[in-house]
Amino acid sequence: MSETSATNEQFDLVVVSNRLPVDRIVDADGSAAWTRSPGGLVTALEPVMHAHGGAWVGWPGMPDVEVEPFDEGGIRLVPVPLSADDIEQYYEGFSNDTLWPLYHDVIASPRYHREWWDAYKSVNQRFTDAVAEVASEGAVVWVHDYQLQLVPKLLREARPDLTIGFFNHIPFPPYGIFSQLPWRTRIVEGLLGADVIGFQRQADAVNFQQAVRRLKGYPTRRGHIEVPVVDETPGVRVYGPIKPTGPIRTVVAREFPISIDASIYDELARRPDIQERARQLRADLGDPRVIIFGVDRLDYTKGIGHRIKAFGELVADGEVTVGDVVLVQVASPSRERVVPYMELRDEVELMVGRLNGDYSTIGHSPIAYYHQSFPREEMTAFYLAADVMLVTALRDGMNLVAKEYVASRFDDDGVLILSEFAGASDELTRAILVNPHDIEELKRAILRAMELPKRERKSRMRQLRKRVFDNDVAKWSNEFLEELAKARAAAND
Ligand code: GDG
């Protein structure tokens, strides 16, 4: 970290994401404080920021609040204020009702509104301005996720001295889908402002390179894209490859599969109080022989309906007995003001209500459903109690829940059922892999997981744990930052 003045500190590493990793809590006496907030990105980046020291630029999570930069847990947090209109149009609108469904294989229909795009541009510009102010000369800036895809280009224009990385936490869609987006070329140009663009899976990086070839005509070769320093075709659709005439820079676009801090879950799961809590949960659920567990943000990409359908058919067919087996589904509240999320909640709760209404006995229900968030300790107790973990995402960048389950199972027990449409399936090949659209296959997988012999459970879980512990979040961030360091060295050559 370098300081220019007490009030105008600058940082050599700046992370930028839509949300700052904090929530503001107001006590009964009216005093306010900040507390860490849950979520995939925070879980992933916290250790990196602690290790390197640095600044994190993002929205503090509430509309219309102006907050001065502050320190929390050794990180300088730089809030970017968003108005209620920004949240509606940039965040709930363009990010979560246009890009999110588009990038997840149009499971829901993306909505295209020009005023949402205008808000997206203007908020991306404000994030860029905030970063440009706190980044020291020659700093490394790491931009995160689909809400901020224009920042790399805007930042390169404002601060050519910076080394810029971008990581996309969600999938990047095939060109046939991406090409629906009216502003597709602007997005590709925005991303190409980075030196390194990271994706979860190789398939995502390949999709991106195809979009670059189709929309910009730049040559791409094994994850390296040749980008002219001066773009002679801004915003123009090109047909066929373009031979750059002026100087070029090389942009790296490849996969960096994200992970978790596995040791945190391992340590939590080894705590006697958490093991006791896991036993208590089982007892409170009526001591079933098998607990099947799912935990997701309540999102249509997670395939919650598919898993309830499959489980419901097993109950209806008498292949599982209520009381002997229970499905525990935690659906943490998410994006509750976005219409498809409201509809999804109704759909899921109708399914749960019907199934429980039809098949509950006095004292036992097929599904224990919680539309709530739980503390990490409680989640770990659930992971420990779960004989079968069900991850049925229809499309998912990675899915950290699958990795958290594995990291918690220090006892080498438990069975993971994992969708092949989650990025995690590239690594966690010893899970029972399923196509969640195939309800019959999903039912067979559930039955198989419930009956898997102990020896096989152990052998599978050991191999899964090796993958998760060998490839933890520290390795992920180190590899990304090393690639950025290489990019910087090449640029200075
Ligand atoms: C995006 C991408 C990618 C959930 N409910 C509770 C809770 N969580 C935590 C989980 C996990 C995280 O939230 C969810 O991470 P996922 O990876 O499963 O999914 P997304 O939120 O969609 O994350 C995804 C990720 O970014 C990282 O790149 O893997 O593909 O969509 O950590 O544990 N945590 C607590 N209580 C809850 O109720 N404490």
Q: Please work out whether the CB of residue 332 comes within 6 Å of at least one atom of ligand 1.
A: yes
What pLDDT, on a 0 to 100 scale, did the predictor assign at position 22?
A: 80
What pLDDT, on a 0 to 100 scale, did the predictor assign at position 5?
A: 37
What pLDDT, on a 0 to 100 scale, did the predictor assign at position 366?
A: 98
Length of the chain: 493
Q: Enumerate the active-site residues.
A: 169, 396
What pLDDT, on a 0 to 100 scale, did the predictor assign at position 234?
A: 80
What pLDDT, on a 0 to 100 scale, did the predictor assign at position 52?
A: 66
H helices then E strands: how many in the chain? 17, 19
Q: Specify the 3-state DSSP secondary structure of 134.
A: helix
Query: Which residues are CB-contacts of 290 (< 8 A; sequence separation ≥ 6)?
Result: 320, 324, 325, 326, 387, 388, 450
Name which residue sits closest to atom 13 of ligand 1, judged by CA: 39
C-alpha to C-alpha distance for 54 and 14, rounded to whole angstroms: 6
What pLDDT, on a 0 to 100 scale, did the predictor assign at position 6?
A: 38
Q: Please work out whether the CB of residue 375 comes within 6 Å of at least one atom of ligand 1.
A: yes
**Residue pLDDT, tens place only, 428-444:** 999 999 999 999 999 99
What pLDDT, on a 0 to 100 scale, did the predictor assign at position 111?
A: 97
Q: Please work out whether the CB of residue 171 comes within 6 Å of at least one atom of ligand 1.
A: no
399 alpha carbon – ligand 1 mean position (Å):
7
Q: Please work out whether the CB of residue 179 comes within 6 Å of at least one atom of ligand 1.
A: no
What pLDDT, on a 0 to 100 scale, did the predictor assign at position 133?
A: 96
- For 79, the token pair is 């809030």
The owner of tokens 């700093």 is 139
- The region, left, alpha or beta by phi > 0 then psi within -120 to 50, assigned to residue 286 is left
Name which residue sits closest to atom 20 of ligand 1, judged by CA: 40
41 alpha carbon – ligand 1 mean position (Å):
8
For the chain, which domains are there?
Answer: 2-258+475-492 (3.40.50.2000), 262-470 (3.40.50.2000)
What pLDDT, on a 0 to 100 scale, did the predictor assign at position 246?
A: 86
| Pocket perturbation via mutation, ligand 1, pick of 401, 421, 471, 476 by most ligand atoms within 8 A of CB | 401
C-alpha to C-alpha distance for 252 and 172, rounded to whole angstroms: 15
SS (H, E, C) 300-366: HHHCHHHHHHHHHHHHHCCCCCECCEEEEEEEECCCCCCHHHHHHHHHHHHHHHHHHHHHCECCECC
Low-confidence ranges of the chain (pLDDT < 50): 1-6
Q: Please work out whether the CB of residue 424 comes within 6 Å of at least one atom of ligand 1.
A: no
- Residue 424 per-residue DSSP state: G
Any bridge partners for residue 250, and if so which?
226
